[in-house]
Amino acid sequence: RSPAAIAAIWGILKTGAAYLPIDAGYPDARITQILTDAQAPACLLEPPAHHRDCLPPGCHGITLDISGTPAPGQWHDADGQPDDLAYVIYTSGSTGTPKGVQIEHRGLVNYVRWVTREAGLTTATRMPLVASISFDMAGCALFAPLLAGGAVLPVGEVNAVTLREVIEDRGATAMAITPSHLDLINQAGIRHSTLRTVIAGGELLRRSTALRAREVLGARCRILCQWGPTEATILNTCHEFDPERDTDPGVP
């Protein structure tokens, strides 16, 4: 979740290629398995991961270092088409064997337009990147705020301290997180918050968690419970939590 990784993902798309995000926390064997299955010709490695021995034959390692790199002299974005591949994300699969889900540009564009509208993202939006880049929900923070003219705030190590800091000191206005992260925020001792929208997805959002979040973040902060399978491009259902109407243990 570094600035270099964000720049690299955008750069890959601008060349017309597709990206395959791999969390550096994965064991070497899993990384090798994914790169082999995807037949990836190259792998961008950010220090200190560039010292790891996890690249299969035929996959070229490129150290990702954007410091002091001159801008290209003649650069033109590739002419993308709706059915071009945007990214591949490996899920556990129903059998437990990782499988690569291929997402085209048309799906990503449609999702970004939808979530921008549903979450009310604008040029003033400041959205932390909290999810692992290998989790498709990270796509919300990678693309939606920037395409709305706002900012993305990369969070390195995710814990109660860093989440409190990004909310209190870095002016976060919107977040796309799991309910587990929201539980962590509820326990972080937040004193003041600029958050106006929280998108919770990927897990069951409990009513008790949502109620506590309204106390911590303020009643003006909308809590959106969203869900969708990786194959349908990140998320595709949305329900705004209403404490008066939503009385079941789990938020719809």
Model pLDDT for residues 67-125, shown as the tens digit of each residue: 666 777 777 888 889 999 999 999 876 677 788 999 999 999 999 999 999 999 999 99
Half-sphere exposure of 21 (CA within 13 A, CB side): 25
CA 10 – CA 15 distance, rounded (Å) = 9
**Other CB atoms closer than 10 Å to residue 4's CB: what's the count?**
15
Query: Which CB contacts under 8 angstroms, 24+ apart, belong to 52-60?
Result: 52/28, 53/28, 54/28, 54/29, 56/32, 59/35
β-bridge partners, 110: none
Model pLDDT for residues 155-212, shown as the tens digit of each residue: 989 999 999 999 999 999 999 999 999 999 999 999 999 999 999 998 999 999 999 9
Q: Do you find a cis peptide bond into 243, omega within 30 degrees of 0?
A: no
Model pLDDT for residues 54-83, shown as the tens digit of each residue: 999 999 998 887 666 677 777 788 888 999
Give 221's pLDDT tier (boundaries 50, 70, 90).
very high
Whole-structure pTM value: 0.91
